[in-house]
Amino acid sequence: MEKRVGPWRPPRFFRERCFKEEKFVNVPNRLTIVRIILIPVFILLLVLPLNWGNVVWLGTTIPVTQIWGAIVFAVASITDFLDGQIARRQHLVTNFGKFADPLADKMIVMTAFILLVDMGAVPAWGAAIIVCRELAVTGLRLIVVETGGRVLAAAWPGKIKTTTQMVGIILLLLNNIGFATIHIPMALIFFYICLFFTIYSGIDYFVQNRQVFADSSAE
């Protein structure tokens, strides 16, 4: 009896390795890597003594370096939105993405606030609260994952915090464009709204995950 031979397939270990590599270099992970690369670009634009002059938009004088910084930050924010959407819709969630995506988000936000403090645009105490909250929540996420728990999706306070952070940072980099001429400190208003929801969402996140500490104390 003649044996039927199907199409040749590479060895299983080779297929699994290629599949893992393909998942690693998928579009969401590439966007995350781009966002991480943009962080030093963002820092250099705002720290180096680049004399690129100023422009006047809507009656507001803005250094060109800050405009480019705002553009880089806006691009990073867009990639943050896109990589999450693509990963969930196309089921491309990877361990690298789970680790690097939130880390990249917090790194660029914390970097922006530290640089804004140096520019005198925001109070140091407010930026310190935001940085401490982001570090605390990141640590809690790691504990939740390590103990086999499920990382909760961002609730509405967290989403408001993220949105006001992005808008506030861009407005601060653009010297409160559109509002400076009418003497409304909209950039700082967004900052303080962001600060409120940063504290509120941080407390909410710890309350939602309080069982992690209860389990550890029981052990």
Say what the pLDDT of residue 153 is: 56
All domains of the chain in start order, with CATH: 24-210 (1.20.120.1760)
pLDDT tens digits for 89-137? 767 666 666 777 778 888 999 999 999 999 999 999 999 999 999 888 8
17 has pLDDT over 90: no
Between 11 and 176, residue with greater pLDDT: 176
**Planar angle of CA 212, 215, 219, nearest 5 degrees:** 140
Question: What whole-number distance in Å separates Cα of residue 160 and Cα of residue 179?
Answer: 21
Say what the pLDDT of residue 154 is: 58
Say what the pLDDT of residue 170 is: 95
pLDDT tens digits for 178-193? 999 999 999 999 999 9
Say what the pLDDT of residue 93 is: 67
Give yes or no for a contact between 54 and 62, defined as CB atoms under 8 angstroms apart.
yes
